[in-house]
Structure 1
């Protein structure tokens, strides 16, 4: 398999995760797309850096924002390492980090990198603009 086809296959796996798992809540597909030994190098607060911790985060986000979905602006791949720039959107209808539902529409940007090996996501690194998200939900600066 050429480097180009490995990259295209890896991008398709990451896109399916973004669109079908995160955006569609297909957790059976999550189990197929993520390797059992998956490692999240940048887990969110209170989450374990493994497959179970990432799934828990996905479920928390969908519970707080039932219409949670992303618009992928671009993806780049170097072999099986895929970098994605996207904007998440949703409506705050459930508790999120202690903030009661506000009904507000939110959006925040994220850049992440995921390594795909043999069609499964094995590693993740990410940076999300959670400060912007918390501001949109009316959280006071500094969490006070």
Structure 2
């Protein structure tokens, strides 16, 4: 199956996502902040990156920017526990912002196990189709729901 990196400062989220993905047959590596995650991302090969947006030190936006520079074809799924509000004057929708900046998909915490697994499956399939397609544009990134 796939090799997946999870970067999240919440150890409970790390453990839960890791357990779900390992039960589905994936190999999982975790990091507690953006700098550690980026260091692992530089040294090892991954098929998918799960990235929390809000972490101390290097946040998910900066980590995503640097990860894209290193390996632009690796799909990134952003996750966040910040509420999404459509009220005027409320905080911006950071998940949507992240997808506009290069993440292929997003999940609002807490998410259901089925939503996590469906996202992983669709992102990995989209990335595989993109890598096997000879007609894709250079620098293209797989998009998935």
> So what's the TM-score if we normalise by structure 2?
0.30
User: Would you tell me which structure has more helix in proportion to its own residues?
Assistant: 2
Q: Which has the larger radius of gyration?
A: 1
Identify the structure with bigger relative contact order (alpha carbons < 8 Å, sequence gap 6+): 1
